[in-house]
């Protein structure tokens, strides 16, 4: 349903995104994972047509047979919200602090439907129910600051699914939430996607969270999709060294509840940090931080695909026996 | 062994909250716990359960209304005048959002010298500042920069360096890595473990991440609705939780975490 081909985004002469291939099948849930500054949000914005004005974009973003990159602003704003819903990183910043919850959700409904008056209110209440908010009838009169972080995030999701989109893009929707609330929101996203046959693109820096929510994952670094595949395959057999490093740095939970063996254990870190825009090396973008780099790595690796569409771009692949 | 911090039947409410919610509304209710010197304690629990409030009461930033809180065997109310400075020096906090906890208009050098100026009443020497910043794995070149010129992970290191500059006995870290992404989290957590071991610090960590707590803390305190739901050795509490609440936290954590050997 969503296919990115040779998508390139250039801002101020710097290539921020270059994705040769990224696919999302109908009804499936794709995780997009990478460190801060790896290009997750810019990828989401490229799909949404929300890139800054000065960006130069080429390639194609085919959504349900239509190339979104050929649409003008008016056409694109119809797609956005109606067929593709978005939930962005920080609910506190995405909700209007001066506007009551009910109004924010009803605006999302009005823009994309002919409903009026009481029908809109009924729909708002129904949506707030669907995202499992308590007492929607009173809640809709509240302002965002009167809701907890988790409740705000549910309101965001309610607004994003108001028009019954075929695809929901959620950019780090749970990073600010505590574990139990996070798990509830994640379960909500899973059940919404199953009930509505809605595809989900879920952005996060945490592979543990992605494994819970998604069936497939794409790993992004330096604006390139360096590895993609079924989440279980990628977690069990990371091929690109960046994927392996991300997995190793994840604190996780001890296997077989062996908590005593876990105490005091240091985490593996990734050498260096994500370079600023324009400061990534040529060839494999990860090569200045990679412990397995070879001479070949100064040229861009060619993609290799194995079973179950496990695809990666690495000259010296292979997991280092992560567990 | 005398406890470093000893809390007995402690109750706390915020000034306005109690009036609004009525007599019974305590933010912290009947809290008893003790922290041994050089131990590492994790405080977990859902949002609003009182974790940050408890930390603030233990280090004397908030005054409890009932019960006792002792530091080094001495009631917190006995730390007055110079004593109050000692208490602040011995108890340092690192907060969740490094960007919000540093003054954006101050250079890193200035931010780092602030606690020594405030608590020791002297200007730290250059060598001292350099040693402080290098201890957290940053170079001296960051000293002339402003907070907006540093990444989240670098800023959190500055926050840690700042707290350690006055040689505290106990370091409270309130969600020190939740604003950071996984790879930077790993660096900061390792740094905290290394510094704790090197300096013989007592470390109290508030975290919503049970994986992090089970790596770093021998002791765990599970908070719920302002009360301690369960406390004890981390490995036994998490392997065999007594409280259903702890069990539900664990279930949520396991669902969304990778398994690591
Ligand atoms: N300054 C304040 N005045 C009044 N009430 C407050 C204040 N700060 C916190 N509270 C309330 O006290 C309770 C405990 O808050 P606290 O910040 O200790 O929770 P927490 O466990 O640290 O939560 P989180 O995981 O969200 O940080 C909450 O109900 C909160 O709304
Ligand atoms: N409006 C913008 N103009 C120029 N560069 C930007 C803009 N927004 C983000 N970037 C840069 O693009 C890169 C990818 O950013 P982003 O997609 O936000 O990363 P992530 O979401 O993975 O943290 C970063 O180096 C970031 O600084
Ligand atoms: S292509 Fe080379 S530098 Fe890049 S991840 Fe693979 S081995 Fe490392
Ligand atoms: Mg982002
Ligand atoms: Mg808190």
Chain A residues in contact with B257 (beta carbon < 8 A): 208, 250-253
For the residues A213-231, what does the mean pLDDT come to? 97
Decide: B19 in ligand 1 pocket, CB within 6 A.
no
**Is residue A25 domain-shared with residue A114, that is, in the same domain?**
no
Q: List, for residues B208-219, the tens digit of each pLDDT value.
A: 889 999 999 999
DSSP letter for A229, please: E
Range of the domain at B231: 5-260
Farthest-apart Cα atoms in chain A, separation:
67
pLDDT of residue A174: 75
For the residues A148-161, what does the mean pLDDT come to? 86
Q: In the beta sheet, which residues pair with residue A62? A: A3, A67
Structure tokens at B78: 């006995």
Q: List, for residues A99-148, the tens digit of each pLDDT value.
A: 999 999 998 888 888 888 899 999 999 999 888 888 899 899 999 888 88
* CA angle (A224, A227, A230) in 5-degree steps: 140
Instruction: Identify whether the C-beta of residue B156 lies closer than 8 Å to the C-beta of residue B98.
Output: yes
pLDDT of residue B89: 93
CATH of the domain at A25: 3.40.50.300
Domain boundary among A102, A131, A164: A164
**Is residue A105 domain-shared with residue A56, that is, in the same domain?**
no
**Is residue A10 domain-shared with residue A52, that is, in the same domain?**
yes
B248 CA to chain A: closest CA distance, Å?
Answer: 8
Please indicate, yes or no, if residue A320 is contained in any of the structural domains: no
Check if A303 contacts B (Cβ < 8 Å). no
The helix/strand count (H/E) of chain B reads as: 11, 11
Q: What chain A residue is nearest to B206 in terms of C-alpha separation?
A: A178
Distance of CA B53 to the CA centre of its chain: 11
Half-sphere exposure of B68 (CA within 13 A, CB side): 11
Q: What ipTM does the predicted assembly reach?
A: 0.85
What is the percent of chain A where pLDDT is above 70?
Answer: 96
Structure tokens at A271: 């050498």
**Is residue A38 domain-shared with residue A109, that is, in the same domain?**
no
Tell me if B239 and A249 make a contact (CB, 8 A cut-off): no
**Is residue A252 domain-shared with residue A269, that is, in the same domain?**
yes
Please indicate, yes or no, if residue A321 is contained in any of the structural domains: no
Residue B120 has pLDDT above 70, yes or no: yes
| Closest C-alpha among B214, B218, B242 to residue B229 | B242
Of A179-193, A196-210, B12-26, minimum mean pLDDT range? B12-26
Buried b (16+ CB within 10 A) or exposed e, A63-100: beeeebbebeeeebeebbbbbbbbbbbbbeebbeeeeb
**Is residue A204 domain-shared with residue A283, that is, in the same domain?**
yes
**Is residue A74 domain-shared with residue A169, that is, in the same domain?**
yes
**Is residue A142 domain-shared with residue A191, that is, in the same domain?**
no
- How, if at all, do strands A310-312 and A304-306 pair? antiparallel
Number of domains in chain B: 1
Q: List, for residues A261-287, the tens digit of each pLDDT value.
A: 999 999 999 998 899 888 999 999 999
Decide: A232 in ligand 1 pocket, CB within 6 A.
no
Residue B222 has pLDDT above 90, yes or no: yes
pLDDT of residue A143: 92
- DSSP letters spanning B3-19: -SEEEEEEEE--HHHHH
Chain A residues in contact with B183 (beta carbon < 8 A): 35, 205, 245-246, 249, 269-270
**Is residue A175 domain-shared with residue A125, that is, in the same domain?**
no
Q: What chain B residue is nearest to A276 in terms of C-alpha separation?
A: B151
At residue B213, the 3 state secondary structure works out as: helix
Please indicate, yes or no, if residue A323 is contained in any of the structural domains: no
B46 CA to chain A: closest CA distance, Å?
Answer: 6
**Is residue A100 domain-shared with residue A69, that is, in the same domain?**
no
Q: What is the mean pLDDT of chain A?
A: 91
Tell me if A255 and B211 make a contact (CB, 8 A cut-off): no
Q: Give the number of other CB atoms < 10 A from CB of residue A110.
A: 14
Q: Give the number of other CB atoms < 10 A from CB of residue A285.
A: 25
Instruction: Identify whether the C-beta of residue A59 lies closer than 8 Å to the C-beta of residue A7.
Output: yes
Atom of ligand 3 minimally distant from the CA of A226: 5
What order of strands is seen across the sheet that includes strand A310-312? A84-87, A167-171, A199-204, A29-33, A216-221, A224-230, A310-312, A304-306
Number of domains in chain A: 2
DSSP letter for A196, please: T
Kindly report the pTM of this predicted structure. 0.89
**Is residue A157 domain-shared with residue A172, that is, in the same domain?**
no
A67 CA to chain B: closest CA distance, Å?
Answer: 33
Q: What chain A residue is nearest to B41 in terms of C-alpha separation?
A: A263
Contact residues, A window 32-51, toward B, CB-based 8 Å cutoff: 35-36
- How, if at all, do strands A224-230 and A167-171 pair? unpaired
**Is residue A138 domain-shared with residue A181, that is, in the same domain?**
no
Atom of ligand 1 minimally distant from the CA of B16: 4
- DSSP letters spanning B145-211: S-GGGS-HHHHHHHHHHHHHTT--SEEEEESTTTTS-HHHHHHHHHHHHHHHHHHT-EEEEE-S-HH
Distance of CA A22 to the CA centre of its chain: 13
pLDDT of residue A323: 34
Backbone angle region of B226, left / alpha / beta, with phi > 0 → left and psi within -120 to 50 → alpha? left
Alpha-helix runs per DSSP H in A166-281: 179-195, 207-213, 231-236, 241-249
pLDDT of residue A163: 87
Atom of ligand 1 minimally distant from the CA of B226: 14
Range of the domain at A238: 2-83+165-312
Q: Where are the beta strands (DSSP E) in chain A?
A: 2-11, 14-24, 29-33, 56-63, 66-67, 84-87, 167-171, 199-204, 216-221, 224-230, 253-254, 304-306, 310-312
Residue, of A176 and B28, whose pLDDT is higher: B28
Quote the CA–CA distance of A158 and A131 in Å, as a whole number.
6
Domain boundary among A148, A164, A180: A164
């Amino acid at each position: 349903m969503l296919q990115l081909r040779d998508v390139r985004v250039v801002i101020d002469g710097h290539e921020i995104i270059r994705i040769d291939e990224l696919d999302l099948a109908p009804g499936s849930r794709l995780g997009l994972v990478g460190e801060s500054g790896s290009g997750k949000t810019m990828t989401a914005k490229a799909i949404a047509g929300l890139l800054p004005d000065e960006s130069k974009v080429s390639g194609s973003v085919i959504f349900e047979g239509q190339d979104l990159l050929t649409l003008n602003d008016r056409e694109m704003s119809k797609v956005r919200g109606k067929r593709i819903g978005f939930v962005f990183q920080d609910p506190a910043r995405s909700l209007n602090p001066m506007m009551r919850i009910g109004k924010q959700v009803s605006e999302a409904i009005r823009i994309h439907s002919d409903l009026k008056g009481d029908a809109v209110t009924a729909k708002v209440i129904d949506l707030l129910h669907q995202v499992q908010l308590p007492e929607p009838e009173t809640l809709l009169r509240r302002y965002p600051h009167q809701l907890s972080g988790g409740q705000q995030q549910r309101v965001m999701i309610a607004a994003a699914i108001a028009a019954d989109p075929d695809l929901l893009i959620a950019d780090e929707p749970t990073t600010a939430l505590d574990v139990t609330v996070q798990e509830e929101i994640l379960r909500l996203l899973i059940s919404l996607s199953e009930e509505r046959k809605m595809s989900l693109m879920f952005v996060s820096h945490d592979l543990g969270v992605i494994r819970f929510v998604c069936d497939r994952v794409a790993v992004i670094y330096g604006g390139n999709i360096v590895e993609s595949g079924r989440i279980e395959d990628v977690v069990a057999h990371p091929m690109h060294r960046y994927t392996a490093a991300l997995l190793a740095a994840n604190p996780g939970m001890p296997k077989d509840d062996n908590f005593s063996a876990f105490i005091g254990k240091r985490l593996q870190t990734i050498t260096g940090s994500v370079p600023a825009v324009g400061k990534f090396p040529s060839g494999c973008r990860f090569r200045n931080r990679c412990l397995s780099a070879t001479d070949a790595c100064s040229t861009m690796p060619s993609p290799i695909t194995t079973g179950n569409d496990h695809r990666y771009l690495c000259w010296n692949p292979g997991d280092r026996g992560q567990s | 062994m005398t406890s470093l911090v000893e809390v007995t039947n402690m109750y706390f409410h915020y000034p306005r909250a109690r009036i609004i919610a009525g007599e019974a509304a305590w933010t912290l209710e009947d809290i008893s716990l003790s922290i041994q010197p050089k131990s590492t304690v994790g405080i977990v629990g859902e949002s609003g359960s009182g974790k940050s409030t408890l930390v603030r009461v233990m280090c004397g930033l908030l005054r409890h209304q009932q019960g006792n809180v002792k530091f080094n065997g001495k009631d917190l109310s006995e730390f007055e005048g110079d004593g109050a400075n000692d208490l602040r020096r011995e108890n340092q906090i690192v907060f969740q959002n490094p960007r919000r906890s540093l003054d954006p208009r101050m250079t890193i050098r200035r931010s780092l010298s602030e606690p020594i100026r405030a608590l020791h009443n002297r200007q730290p020497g250059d060598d001292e500042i350099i040693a402080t910043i290098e201890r957290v794995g940053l170079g001296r070149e960051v000293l002339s920069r402003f907070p907006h010129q540093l990444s989240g992970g670098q800023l959190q290191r500055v926050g840690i360096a700042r707290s350690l500059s006055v040689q505290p006995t106990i370091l409270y870290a309130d969600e020190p890595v939740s604003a950071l992404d996984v790879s930077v989290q790993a660096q900061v957590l390792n740094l905290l473990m290394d510094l704790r071991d090197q300096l013989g610090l007592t470390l109290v960590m508030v975290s919503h991440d049970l994986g992090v707590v089970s790596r770093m803390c021998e002791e765990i305190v599970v908070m719920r609705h302002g009360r301690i739901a369960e406390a004890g050795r981390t490995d036994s509490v998490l392997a065999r939780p007594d409280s259903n609440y702890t069990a539900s936290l664990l279930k949520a954590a396991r669902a969304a975490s990778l398994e690591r050997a």
